[in-house]
Amino acid sequence: MALKKLYDNLALKAEASGKTAQQFNETAQKHANAAWALLILAGVVWYFAGFVLALIPGALVIYGALMNVSSTMIAKRLEKHNGPHL
Instruction: Kindly state whether residue 38 falls inside one of the protein's structural domains.
Output: yes
pLDDT score of 13: 92
Q: Could you list the residue range(s) of the whole structural domain that residue 41 is in?
A: 22-82
The answer as to whether 73 is a domain residue is: yes
Least confident of 9-23, 27-41, 42-56: 9-23
Average pLDDT along the chain:
92
**Domain-located, residue 33:** yes
Asked if residue 35 is part of any domain, the answer here is: yes
The answer, yes or no, to whether residue 66 has pLDDT greater than 90, is: yes
pTM here is 0.83
In a domain, 65, yes or no: yes
Asked if residue 3 belongs to a domain, the reply is: no
Looking at beta carbons, which pairs linking 64-70 to residues 24 or more positions away fall under 8 Å? 64/31, 64/32, 64/34, 64/35, 64/38, 65/31, 65/32, 65/35, 67/27, 67/28, 67/31, 68/28, 68/31, 68/32, 68/35, 69/28, 70/7, 70/10
**Number of folded domains that form the chain:** 1
